[in-house]
Structure 1
């Protein structure tokens, strides 16, 4: 039986400079009603505190999965600048063709980013989810990435005040003892401009919110607030070195929580 971890009660005291890096695949909505091209922004940022923006290079891959079929979206990307609360950084804007009913799993495999302050490379392999017409098709299926988080709750309609459970895997096998940083998107990108909104809440004292996966790779988080939540399993991937330096190959997933009305 898996051990349940309520990560809302778990925080680690780490320096503010080490607040979580998160790659965003941001869309204004996750539930799509009208067929068309949905705008998406790829940003490497600290959205909880509207903090530092890291420059993002052209990803190694950007694609979607719909009804089990993979569609390359790399050609839709165009470089843009994005301004957070502290600085401006290179980002990308693209589109997701949403036509038929079902799930659309967005996947970004970025180039490794060198974090000079920590002297390591970071590669955040990221998944986000859209849905049209409330028909579930792909959300709970693994994509086959080097490392990923497989959701056990529909990730685009999680209940605020409920829980979210995911499983961390690498090459398809569960990752035990993975450290999972948890981020709230307190500030959100503006799709029409280069700027972000003002944060609606402040980060908790004590540094990043953290959970640890159990022996079967599972973790559970009590979702306290509606909005976008990100989960990053640090160093869960099989690759540990890039250009002679340490590589943290992370699995990232974004979910959307809603208040009951």
Structure 2
């Protein structure tokens, strides 16, 4: 099947509907205010495990297993740039991290966090969300279209830092580099963004969807497509798409997460 045919099939197969999942979606953030960087230097970041659509519960993050960036195919370790903070949302405060990304030359910087598994006590299940965010310096694309070799990840088929609001985003769910069919992809709008100056949540600009979580389903080739209705940050979490299914004797949901930035046409 040609790539065009695969994308058309994905667009037809993708489903946007209420799903039998908790109304509040867990989402790992690697937050940057603006992914389009004009000047070189250190770019401030925040790592928060949160419910940003409804500005809900903040989950306490443990020390990440890995935190790095990929630029021109080379890995930049960022673990020594992590510093613990407390992040405060509307419901509670919990452990999070601040960090920075050294921007030294034009191109893409693919930020990756591999967090420690988090025990969701209400369900007695561990969650580990392997998360990617893309930053670009000087409008030179270099890495965004390549997989990064994670245990599970979402490969973007649209440039993920300048999507047009009102257009679509297509991704492919991979596990150990192979497409994964029939995966539920939870979709989250970052209605409340972190305030970097205070490490608190800004007031939300939208309310959560009626009917619960918004979900798409990957097709036979791992593709899904979602129409982006509004400018801002959008997150996609492929639930349980990873190869690791157990941690410390309990079920593990190893999820692939990607955040993309949409913009209004000016």
Same fold (TM over 0.5): yes
Give the alignment partner of residue 212 of structure 1, picking from 203, 208, 217.
217
**Distance of 1:76 and 1:181 partners within structure 2:** 30
Aligned to 1:98: 103
| Segment drifting more, 191-200 vs 157-166 | 191-200
**Distance of 1:126 and 1:7 partners within structure 2:** 24
Give the alignment partner of residue 18 of structure 2, picking from 4, 12, 15.
12
Deviation at 1:9, TM superposition (A): 6.5
Structure 2 unaligned regions, length at least 5 = none
Cα offsets for 1:120-179 (capped at 9, x unmatched): 000000000000010000001000000000000000000000000000000000000010
Deviation at 1:5, TM superposition (A): 3.6
Aligned to 2:31: 26
Give the alignment partner of residue 69 of structure 1, picking from 71, 74, 78.
74
Structure 1 unaligned regions, length at least 5 = none
**Distance of 2:61 and 2:124 partners within structure 1:** 17
1:229-240 correspondence to structure 2 within 5 Å: 229-240=234-245
Give the alignment partner of residue 153 of structure 2, picking from 148, 151, 169.
148
Aligned to 1:109: 114
How many residues are paired up?
260
**1:121 aligned to 2:130?**
no
Secondary structure (helix, strand or coil) at the match of 1:4 reads helix
Secondary structure (helix, strand or coil) at the match of 2:18 reads coil
Deviation at 1:50, TM superposition (A): 0.2
Secondary structure (helix, strand or coil) at the match of 2:194 reads coil
Superposition RMSD in Å: 1.3
Aligned to 1:197: 202
